[in-house]
Amino acid sequence: MISVVVCSYNARDVIDRSLSSLREQDIEDPFEVIVVDSGSDGTADRVRSSYPEVKLVRSEERLWPGPARNAGVRAATGTYVAFLPADGVAKPDWLRRRVAAHREGYAAIGGSITNGTPRHPVGTAGYFLEYSALIPSERVLTEQAVPHCLSYERTLFDRLGEFPEGAETGEDTVFNERLLEAGVEIGFDERAQLDHLNLNGVVPYLRHQYRHGRGLAQCVERYGLQSPIGPPGQGPAVAALRMFGLYPARRWWAALRRIARGRPAWGVAYVALTPLIWAGLWATSLGAWQEWRR
């Protein structure tokens, strides 16, 4: 009925929690799990030995998220396709709720992401920075300009093509914009939740956000994605102002507004973590700036 694609790159330390959560799904419909692995830390061997029920797609060459997603979709046989991060832990009813919502007639279903590192300041800052639009709130989920954390009817990829492969990150944003342009009706269920195991080290956190900035600039240049960082042809002074001033300020404020609307009790923690959040935002800005200069 549904295929779950897990994209893995050097995920040996977290893949057990992800795949174990899929073993614990309370869905009655048959489903398959596909791991697309392109790392060098032995994750593939771990999957082969401990999860024989999993279909493994192995690449010796590193795959960015777009190519990895596409490899998983090509290997999928389900009516629907969902994606679980290698550092994500699905709640037991995650798949059941998605399938039930698809059966109501929606070709794409959006769920929510919860904080898998609630007691760690760096992890929580990363959660707020990346997933404020995906907090468990129906109101916030439905207000997304471009919805994320989607599962899809398999036929959508035949109609609309694959995920773009020319950017390091942002492939789902570009693809989901296609859904909106094609008039695909998207449903939401905030109870279809997964915990995200956020990075807890300052350096890995900043490096991760830097890569997001590179991917953002690539999507703007190569796929016409609209963003506050501005267009590729802008002058250096304007680009610097947008990337290091306007862009992080708008993101910080937008996340605060979402939290205030959807989970107001989290507002104090968000404000208290502002220095860490802004550090991540400026790391994203630096990645976008350097990619723009290229």
Reported as a pLDDT band with limits 50, 70 and 90, residue 250 is very high
List every span in the chain annotated with CATH 3.90.550.10: 2-196
Confirm if 70 and 165 have CB atoms less than 8 A apart. yes
Residues forming a β-bridge with 233: none
Question: What does the pLDDT read at residue 70?
Answer: 98
Question: What does the pLDDT read at residue 253?
Answer: 98
Question: What does the pLDDT read at residue 113?
Answer: 98
Percent of the chain predicted with pLDDT > 90: 99
According to CATH, what is the number of the domain 2-196? 3.90.550.10
Cα dihedral 188/116/66/175 (nearest 10) = 20
Question: What does the pLDDT read at residue 149?
Answer: 97
Question: What does the pLDDT read at residue 169?
Answer: 95
- Residues 6+ away with beta carbon under 8 Å from 83: 4, 5, 6, 7, 69, 72, 151
Question: What does the pLDDT read at residue 108?
Answer: 98
Q: What integer best gives the mean pLDDT of the chain?
A: 97
Give per-residue pLDDT as tens, 181-191: 999 999 999 99
Give per-residue pLDDT as tens, 99-144: 999 999 999 999 999 999 999 999 999 999 999 999 999 999 999 9
Residues forming a β-bridge with 41: none
